[in-house]
Structures are given as structure tokens and as C-alpha cells.
Chain A
Amino acid sequence: MTSTRQRLSGYAVVVLALALLGGLYTAVGAPKTKAQDPVDQSIAVKEGRQLYLQGCSTCHGLNLEGGAGGPSLVGVGASAVVFQVESGRMPLAAGASQAIRKPSKYEGAQVDQLAAFVQSYGGGPTLPAGRLDDGELALGGDLFRTNCSSCHNFAGVGGALSRNKYAPDLTPASARVIYTAMQTGPENMPRFSDNTLTPDEKRAITRYVRYVTNESENPGGAALGRFGPVSEGLTVFLVGIGLCIVLTLWIGARA
């Protein structure tokens, strides 16, 4: 054998080995993807992978398999990412009874990229196309009062759950965050699949929540936090009786 052939055959062996390893890995070791990503999606997935490896893999694993720091993300879907990351709950702050909303670490496009990446690992709920908050307002209110107000309060300002848990104030939540919360059921919130609440119903609820928390006015004056009779009772003593006592002091200023 000439040295060229030997060298060539050496390279061939290496290439073959690599191909075999790669083939084995693809066949056995690689996570299964449900669908083939279209070409434009693959860019988002690629970007998303980078973001994931930088910001999430420490707790959720290099292959989204989970670990001591966080659960597996296989199959949670793009919606879970949109909810957790856009509301700033993820990356998780340390030492709280539940994930706290804080300013998001990622911009909108980055959130979508992360979402697309996670979606590529086992699928899961995704956001529908089109507007999320153009549902029927009155229907949304009725559905909100049946499904949501017992945790989040009639005006969405939030409420207490058992132990140290709470249903948060919905005012800062965007339409995307509201919609994906219903889809994914974060932490102790129930999951409302599309057969439990249809996309139209979710849109109606989203519309109502955005309306009541951000657009609705208070035609009666200062809303006192929309907590109900507790703040009203406090006000009648502090403002009402307070003013009346000041007035009696003025009138009866003697003895």
C-alpha cells in the first residue's frame, strides 16, 4: 500500500466512524421531533437554542431533560415559554413560594425564538394566529367569573391561595401572557385545554381581563384598590369619621 492510500484509508475510517456514530446517535440518542421545522422556523429554533443554552440549560438540562434545578421542558410547548419568560418568572428568582413576576430578561423576538426552540422538543400548546384579545366582552366576563374570579378576584387584582401561595394581580399581564397562562396552567393554576375553553372563549376571557384591569374606568371615583368592602370600611373611618371629628372639633372648640 502506498502512503497516500494509507492516509486516505485512514481518513475514510475516521469519516466512517463519525458517520456511524452520528447515525447511531440520530437513530437512538437524539430526541424525537414531532414535525419537521420549515426553513424560516429553523432560524428561530437556532437562535432559540443559543439563548436556551446560555440562560436555561443550567437548570433545565442541555436537552431539556430537566434536572435538580428544574423540570423537563419536553412537550411544554411554545406557550409555556411565552408565559414564563415574557412575564419574567423565568429565570426563576431564588427562595420564593412561587415564581414571581419581574421584568423580562428577553425581548419579544427573543421570547419567540426561545419558544420556537422549546416547541421543537416534543411540541405542546402554541399560540394561535391572529389577535388574542378580540373575543366577546360580555361572554368573557361571564366565563371569567365562573373560571377565574375565585382565585384572581372579580376585577383581577389577585387573591390568596392556601399556605403562602397567591393568584397574582392580572393588571401587568399582556394578552399573550393571559392566553398562555390559561393554556399551560403554570404552577397551581389549572390547565384549560382548547377543549375545556375553546380558543374563542380564551380570546373572550383575555379581552375581558385586559379590559377590566387596564381599560375600564371607575365612574364612581377612586376605586380604593378594587378589593371590595374592606377598603371601603377603612375609608369610612379614616376619611368619613376623620373629617367629621375635625368638624366637631371646630364647631365645639371650647371646654
Chain B
Amino acid sequence: MASITEKAAAGTGTWVDDRLGSANFVRRSLNKVFPDHWSFMLGEVALYSFIMLLLSGTYLTLFFEGSSREVIYNGSYTPLKGIPMTAAYASTLDLSFDVRGGLIMRQIHHWAALLFMAAIVVHLMRVFFTGAFRKPRELNWVLGVGLLVLGIVEGFAGYSLPDDLLSGTGLRIAYSIALSTPVLGTWVSFLVFGGEYPGGMIIERLYPIHILLVPGIILALISAHMGLVWYQKHTQFRGPGRTENNVVGSRLWPAMATKMVGFNMLVFGVLALLGGLFQINPIWLYGPYDASQVSAGSQPDWYVGFLDGSTRLMPNWELRFWDYTLSPNIILPTQVLPAVLFTLLALYPFIEAKLTGDKGYHNLLERPRDNPVRTGLGAMSISFYLLLLVAGGNDIVATIFHLSINEITYTLRAALFIVPPIVYVITKRFCLSLQRADDALLHHGIESGTIRRLPSGEFVEETVPLPPQYAVLLQTTPERKELAEHNAHRSDGPTPALAGSSPRGFFRPKRSPSDASPEGQKELEG
């Protein structure tokens, strides 16, 4: 049995190699080492969500009609029977109520979109706070920001396709935002919508954009993004044996590859769980789009929410002069703010390199505490973003907590400027104090919990020098490197009693003196 499979594999391999010369590539690829830390898999969550988007989306295209042709509904959902609606909305109702498995595919598709964006953001935060975007990976960072922006556009196009009351309201808002552009506003909005709103063809246009154009670009960017990671090799945290010039981890074949495929299935499983157990985008409750109807508590999907928030908080400044109107109340929160934010985000590696004067290669990651300014900036940005996100749901907050929506708005307006600087200062201080704790660890070692009384009557706590495999994690500055080497020589290498044990923990070792062997205990007492 084994020989048949072996023979078949060998035969196929030779056949391919004869034509492509692939053996060398296969050898190098299967042997490739990947560093393993749980946080390196967050980008994979985004990748697998995207694959699910492609699969579920393709299925949906077999049933969905991307047309604004008006029809009278005559399907199974009786509360909408006889109501006029677009074919896009009717076909979505059919998917939900008249196609077996249609609703779960719709829901998996929508949850996958939300998870895709959430994973991108979480992955972005990991890359940012560990400094993985530094040379030589600035280009990959820019590609990633591009994927973030494209994801937002793609998601917006996607949830606007069913032409329900909620997303249709969002389309009208998008039209009005385009309309407010100075000088070119009427041209741009009439171009995109094919005339004055509603134009009659926006669904027909969004459809190929959503199923072909943007996914194609995203797929290309993802390939480039992953290709760069492959070629430049992944970054890694400091640790024993890890230097700027190597990669320490597991080889791709068989363990890493199996884990990746397994994780793929697990993420699919999470999406199936979400898609089946949590109702999302219940368009039959929203009703078909009608330009004279609206619901209280209308929000876009979460990844557009920060723009809704900035729009709600903006004071109503408008300038009217000669024969023209200029609307900063619309342009600033919906056009200028995202342009500035995403540009700053994309250029950040270059800005940081310029400001720090750091032109070196960096393949070793920093722990957030080791770069207090960057971590502080990151935390500050996150607090700003979260405030905008909350502002986008201010009426939901008001409804649930029975608060005045006006007061929520005023409070958030002030908070937007007061909170981020405070967060910056607090975060930076926190990082510095964590560094001091690390310094203490390097200087004094781990507190063993053993208290010894000196002849003078003073009580001291015994400390155990930090074993080198942990000391190496903390050696982020030349002074610390020196200190660690000094301590290592002082106790003549790793304490024998403490070597060989395997404690767990992400960033700090967890040990207790009772772990020590009898010899070690004697040493402690000695």
C-alpha cells in the first residue's frame, strides 16, 4: 500500500519536475522556517475570512439578481407579499426564505466580511506595536493599509447590494457626501450614480465592482503581501538563539503546514458558528429601500462606523459666498478625516524612520514597552478611533441607557480632544514603568520568595538570577545586554538546578522556588 502511494507520488513529482524544474523550489519551500508566536496568526484569520468570502460570495452570485428592476414580491415571506421592490431585494429575500441553505450562506458571507475587517485591524495593531513595519517591510505595511481601505470599500458595496432600507439610506448618504465636494461635487456624484439621485443604476454598477473589480485587486494585493512575507521572511520576537540574521521556528513541512490548514478549517468553523447562530443583516425586517422611509438607529457596518461618528459630532459649519456653497460640516468628517488618517497610517513607517533617524534593518520585534513613544501614539490613535466608533452609535447608547443624545454628543466632542493626549501620557508612563520592572529583573533577578534574616537583624529576600533564555528577551538596549552578560558570568552560566524545567507564560517567566531541585535549594540557602 505504501509503495503504491510512494510510486504515484514519485511519478507525479518527476512528471512535474521534468517540465518545471520544481524540485529545488519544493525542497526550499518545505524546509522554510517560520517563527511561531500566536500573534503571528492574526493575519491568517483575515486571509481565511477572505477565502470564505470568495467561496460564499460565488455561491450567492448564482442566486442574486443585481438589478434595480421593480418587481412585486410574491415569495414565502408573507409580511412583504405584494410590496413593490427591486429585483435585488426580492432575490435576497428568495435567498433568505426560498433557497435551502441560502440564509446561512448569506449570513456566513456577511460575518466573514466583518471578521475580515476585524482581523485586519487586530493584525495591524500587532504589526504596529511590535515594530514589524520597519525596514525592510515598509512596502508590505503600505500594501496592508491598501487592503484595509479596499476592504472598507468592498464591504460597503457588498451590503448595499440587497437594496434594503438600511443600506439604501447609506447609499443616499454616500451620494450626498460626493455631492458636497467643492467644485466637482455635482460631476462626481452624477457620474457615479448616472444622474441625480437615485439614478436608477447604482445597484447594477456596484454589482460588478463588488464581485469582480475590487476582489481582483484585493486578491492581487494579498498575493503581493504574502509574497513579501515569504521572501523577506517573517519577523520574530527576541529569544534564545534568535538574532537579526536568522529565523528560529518550525519548518513548513509537515507541522506548520498542517497547523495552517487546520487553522483554516477552524476559522471556517468559527464563521459557520457565527453564520448559523447569530442573525445578521435581517433585510426582511428593514424592508425594501424607499427614499421616504428611514429607521431610528441607522448605522453602517462597524468598519464604516468611525465615519458615521465623525459626521455626527461635526458642528454645522457651512460657508456661503457669491454663488457657491462650501460645506466643511460634511467635507471635513467624511473626506478630509479619512484621507488624513489613512495617509498618516500608510506613511507611518517612513515618518517614524525619519523622526528616529533609524535606517537599520529590523528583523527582531520590539515588545510594546520597549518603544514607549510609538506605543503611546498607537494607544492614542486607538482611543481616538474608538471614540469616533462610539459616536457612530450615539443614538443606540442613548436608547439603551436612557441618556440625552445631545449630551452624549457634546461629551464625545470634548472627549475627542481631551482623551487621546491623556491616553498617550498614561500609556507612555506605563511602558516606562514596565521597562523599569524589567530593569529590576535584570539587576536583581527573580524574587524567590525565600526570606532570609541577616545577623544584623535585617530581612532580605533571596533573588535568583534570571535564566539566560529569559534575560535575552529583555536585552533591548546595549546597557541591558552588558548587564545580562555580567549577571550570567556571575553565576557561572545558567543555574543548574533551574535549567531544564519548562515554565509557561508569554512575556514573563513564572517560577517558584519549589521548582528547584535539591541542589538548587541548597544554593538558594547557601
Contact = CB atoms under 8 A, between A and B. Distances in A.
Nearest to A100: B402
B82 A160 contact: no
A233 interface: yes
Contacts of B103: 219-220
B285 A159 contact: no
B274 A240 contact: yes
B202 interface: no
B399 interface: yes
Given A164-B403, A211-B79, A255-B37, A145 B287 contact: yes
A224 B302 CA distance: 15
Contacts of B273: 243
Given A219-B96, A220-B103, A254 B396 contact: no
A243 B122 CA distance: 13
Nearest to B42: A248
Given A138-B80, A218-B282, A229 B402 contact: no
Given A221-B278, A232-B280, A241-B118, A164 B404 contact: yes
A230 interface: yes
Given A150-B296, A230-B393, A233-B305, A240 B115 contact: yes
A227 B96 contact: no
B185 interface: no
A153 B296 contact: yes
Contact of B279 (A137, A224, A233, A245): A224
A222 B295 contact: no
Most buried by B among A149, A249, A254, A255: A255
Interface in B373-411: 392-393, 395-396, 398-399, 402-406
B405 A162 contact: yes
A255 B165 contact: no
A229 B300 contact: yes
Contact of A160 (B45, B293, B294, B398): B398
Contacts of A222: 277-279
Interface string B287-308: 1001011111111111101000
Interface residues of B, number: 73
Given A244-B267, A247-B263, A233 B302 contact: yes
Interface in B256-292: 259, 262-263, 266-267, 270-271, 273-274, 276-282, 285-287, 290, 292
Most buried by A among B45, B259, B262: B45
Interface string B69-102: 0000000001111110000000000001100000
A221 B38 contact: no
A164 B397 CA distance: 12
A28 interface: no
29 contacts: A141-B79, A146-B293, A154-B287, A160-B395, A162-B405, A163-B406, A164-B403, A166-B399, A167-B296, A218-B282, A219-B96, A222-B279, A223-B279, A226-B285, A228-B166, A229-B166, A229-B299, A229-B305, A233-B302, A233-B305, A234-B302, A235-B274, A236-B274, A240-B271, A243-B273, A244-B119, A244-B267, A251-B38, A251-B263
Interface of A: 137-138, 141-142, 145-146, 149-155, 157-164, 166-167, 208, 211-212, 216, 218-224, 226-230, 232-237, 239-241, 243-245, 247-249, 251-255
Interface of B: 35-42, 45, 78-83, 96-97, 103, 107, 111, 114-115, 118-119, 122, 165-166, 237, 239, 259, 262-263, 266-267, 270-271, 273-274, 276-282, 285-287, 290, 292-303, 305, 392-393, 395-396, 398-399, 402-406
